[in-house]
Amino acid sequence: MSTDVTSSSSNAIQVIAKFSDKEKVVFNALKNSLYPGAKDESVLMVLDYCSAAKLDPMQKPVHIVPMNVKTGRKDANNKDIYEWRDVIMPGIGQYRTNAVNTKVHAGTTEPEFGEDVTENFPEEKVTDYYNNNSSKTRPALKLTYPRWCKVTVKRKMEDGTVIEFTAKELWKENYATLAKDSSQPNAMWQKRPYAQLAKCTEAQALRKAFPEFGAQPTAEEMEGKNIDYETYVEITEPTVSLSSFEKIVETLTPLGIKVSYKDGYAIATGGKITSSQATLNSLGFKFEDNQFKCKCTQPQSQLPAPSVPVSSEPNKKQAQSDLFENPVINSMDSLFLFADELGLTLSDEFKMQKQDYIGISGGNTDGLDEKLIGAGFAKSPQGKWIRPIADLKK
């Protein structure tokens, strides 16, 4: 069965401290290369899972899937409280490897799809958590998808007979929705309606042909199904990190907006503020005391000089060596690839101040600020990472 992370960070630190030098090398490789951005305790769960199943963790046989789990507690409005937990689940690649290792796997057919269905999903009334909890309408969606998919896995029996195990899955029974109260498919199922269904169907066929694998669903099957971005925003008090004053100046100056610093706040003034509301909101600005202001770090020019000169050259070299430090994000495909490499899940598209955005709905963004900013993301007023997508090719 899947394993959810319950150990604390302090326990993880204690466990890692007892690792041998070789174990630390493996842990660091997993943490920095295969599961970038993952929590220490989540990587430990990967090691535990692989050890129990006799798998090589360096082959990345399992995935860390963020899940929105009901806690059993209620909030002040008597609503169920959910919390994010990382769940360790096998990938379909591991199912394929297991099948080959049995020596009786006789092949898997290419996915066969049923007739195309074009469906008009109706518009939906939702709460806009990016705009002062105001009501908004999620626009209607028109999507073409395959009615069904069929995959056959062949297994060679002891007498030499080859038996076929066929799975047929319906798109309507497998797709993941935007939220619990939505009927619209999420971003991944909108973008890849055929590929997502093919993965689910192949996993089911492999389980039928090789029941010794167990009945656990794969990460590909569960991706997005238990992640409710809007519910998560509603029930979780966001932790908002302070914006860099220099970053604010760098972002707003090209827009003709002047930025000054006073008592821990960046103050924005200028004639183009009205037309730049989306950018101001993404940086955390609010209209208070008859002015647009945002909590921020103290300007570097006002900080005391360090007693020992610090060279920025090592940081520069490190940035140059980082594959995702300056990613080229010019299409939705490259954005999804960027998020996948960092173990992040993208939300559905939404509008804010008449501009289209996409957000980070799952995964651990700790320590990824520079990478996300380099890819065009910024923090919303609620502390969520969002990005305008007008510049991206569909």
Q: What tens digit of pLDDT does each residue of 152-208 get?
A: 999 999 888 999 999 999 999 999 888 777 889 988 899 999 999 999 999 999 999
Q: Are strands 80-90 and 141-146 parallel, antiparallel or unpaired?
A: unpaired
Digit-coded pLDDT (tens) for 104-114: 999 999 999 99
Nearest to 245 by CA among 227, 271, 232, 263: 263
**What is the rounded distance in angstroms from the CA atom of residue 58 to the CA atom of residue 34?**
8
Cα separation, 89 vs 222, whole angstroms:
9
Domain boundaries, the chain: 1-89, 91-236, 237-313, 322-394
pLDDT, residue 154, reads: 95
- At residue 226, does pLDDT exceed 60? no
**Residue 278 near residue 353 (C-beta atoms within 8 A):** yes
Give the per-residue pLDDT at 217.
80
Q: How confident is the model at residue 237, as a pLDDT?
A: 32
pLDDT above 90 for 147: yes
Average pLDDT, the chain: 77
Amino acid in position 345 = T
With a cut of 90, say whether residue 143 has pLDDT above it: yes
Nearest to 42 by CA among 54, 52, 27, 55: 27
Q: Which tens digit of pLDDT belongs to each residue from 199-221?
A: 999 999 999 999 887 777 887 77
Site of tokens 């090589």: 56
- Rounded to the nearest angstrom, the gap between the alpha carbon of residue 297 and the centroid of all alpha carbons in its chain is 27
CB atoms within 10 A of CB 319: 13
Query: Considering the entire predicted model, what is its pTM?
Result: 0.52
d(CA 139, CA 217): 32
Contact 66, 84 (CB under 8 A): yes
Tell me what pLDDT residue 198 has. 95
Would you say residue 5 has pLDDT above 70?
no
H-helix or E-strand spanning residue 266: strand 265-269
pLDDT at 335 over 60: yes
State how far the Cα of 3 lies from the Cα of 47, in Å rounded to an integer: 12
The vertex-307 CA angle with 303 and 310, nearest 5°, equals 80
User: Is residue 366's pLDDT more than 50?
Assistant: yes
CA distances from 54 to 48, 92, 95 (A): 10, 17, 14
- Residue 9 has a pLDDT of 60
Top pLDDT among 389 and 62 is at 62
Q: How far, in Å, CA of 176 to CA of 317, rounded?
A: 42
pLDDT at position 71: 73
Cβ atoms of residues 157 and 379 within 8 Å:
no
In angstroms, the CA 266 to CA 291 distance is 10
Residue type at 142 in one-letter notation: K
User: Above 80 in pLDDT, residue 82?
Assistant: no
